[in-house]
Structure 1
Amino acid sequence: MKRLLVVAFLFSLVLVSVGFAGNLGLFISDKNIYAYGEQEVYTYSGTPLNAGLGFFYTDDDGNSWLLNPYLVATDLYQQKPLNLGVGFQAILGEVEPHNVGYDIFALGFLFTGSFDFTKTASKWPVYFESRLFYAPDILSFADGESILSLDIGAYYNVTTTASVGLCFKIMDVNIDKPDTSWDESALMVGAKIRF
């Protein structure tokens, strides 16, 4: 039943995201699924903001799922290969270390970076992305104490609007019980579409 709910949620996320998203991504491995949608939000100051929603599910050590809405300011309007961003992200969901469920809710800081070779003299259709999220103890609620997440990806542009690649995701969730934490690392393959 839980798998059916997860598939229904992912399908709903993709359908809703197509209506408003500037980017869609879906990455899978043998025990993990990560999907996200992202849209550029226009501001009067001219600073590009990206609002997004991601969903991560794993059945590696129990059924764990995390939902992560975020808002990040970037310098995408600059035609340069290196692009950095900073913003905020929330994480909510349930993790199950050793098949014991713990509710997670945290607010934290998000740092992003990308390097696009298509904007260099070589014009290679390859780019790299990274995202670092950290929620300290004071901003972690429910059963969580602190959360650290790192995503690193390498992508090949198949067309100007679609790319395929690998994403390596590391998550470390400290639980407020003695000697309890939830750690997950996954190498996933997937695709991204830009609108």
Structure 2
Amino acid sequence: MRLRIFLAAVAAGFSVPVLADSIDINLNNDSVQATYATAWRQAEFNAGFLSNTDQNDWVASMGLLASGEKQTGDMRVEAGLGGKVYYANVSNDDVLALGLGGQFSVHPNNFPVGFGGYLYYAPDVITFMDGKKFWEWGVRAEFEVVKKTANIYVGYRKVRADLDNNSDVTVDSGAHVGVKISF
């Protein structure tokens, strides 16, 4: 079931005109996350899947961001604002949420070392099914092996759902390592 949802999300990403694509895969001892993103003009469409095998929880997401880049002699900044639709199965409960937020990355002095983060939050009014709230946030430090093409990184993320039965479930929390390849 998880594989079918992930493949459907990735296939949906191929349905828009493509200018730039990327695949981002990260993992730790208990979880793996894969995200496909495609950029078209000043927008990014992404589809991802996070699976925590320790808890048998999973989250599928699709997002749309208005994105941009500013580069000066001193620094390169990439940022995006938008939203993600999440469908999650946590503690045998289903959650559907529209998370609003954004992401950024900064490369000081145009060095290959950069820092980034993201935050998406869905309050009660836009969280449905068995959920009350949903959020995902993370930070990372990355190294560009090939400028704007291949990055390796270490990061920390937390994905959490508040359920209607007044329980709070952390889908994933902790450090991870990853690779992002743009083509």
What is the TM-score normalised by the length of structure 1?
A: 0.80
Q: Provide the rounded CA distance (Å) in 2 between the counterparts of 1:58 and 1:73.
A: 29
| Rounded Cα–Cα distance in structure 2 between residues aligned with 1:15 and 1:87 | 21
2:115 equivalent in structure 1: 128
1:15 deviates by 8.2
Q: 1:58 corresponds to which residue?
A: 52
Q: Indicate conservation of the 8 Å contact 1:32/1:186, yes or no.
A: no
User: Which residue identity does 2:155 align to in structure 1?
Assistant: C
- RMSD of aligned C-alpha atoms? 2.3
Change (3 A) 1:16 1:166: farther
Aligned to 2:106: 115
Deviation at 1:23, TM superposition (A): 1.2
Q: CA deviation at 1:167?
A: 2.2
The aligned runs of 1:19-98 (5 Å cut-off) are 22-42=21-41, 48-61=42-55, 63-76=56-69, 78-80=70-72, 81-96=76-91
- Secondary structure of the 1:158 match is strand
Higher strand fraction: Structure 1 or Structure 2? 2
1:193 lines up with 2:181 in the alignment = yes
* Structure showing greater Rg: 1
- CA contact 1:148–1:171 (8 Å) conserved in 2: yes
Which residue of 2 is the match for residue 182 of structure 1? 169
**Who is 2:161 aligned against?**
173
Deviations 1:90-149 (A, max 9, x none): 1102012xxxx00010012022111023xx2xx421111211000010000000001121
152, 162, 170: which one pairs with 1:164?
Answer: 152
Report the Cα offset of residue 186 of structure 1.
Answer: 2.3
Q: Distance in 2 between matches of 1:128 and 1:88?
A: 21
TM (norm. structure 2) is: 0.85
Identity %: 23
1:137 aligned to 2:131?
Answer: no
Q: Does structure 1 conserve the Cα–Cα contact (< 8 Å) formed by 2:13 and 2:45?
A: no
Bigger helix fraction:
1
Aligned length, in residue pairs: 175
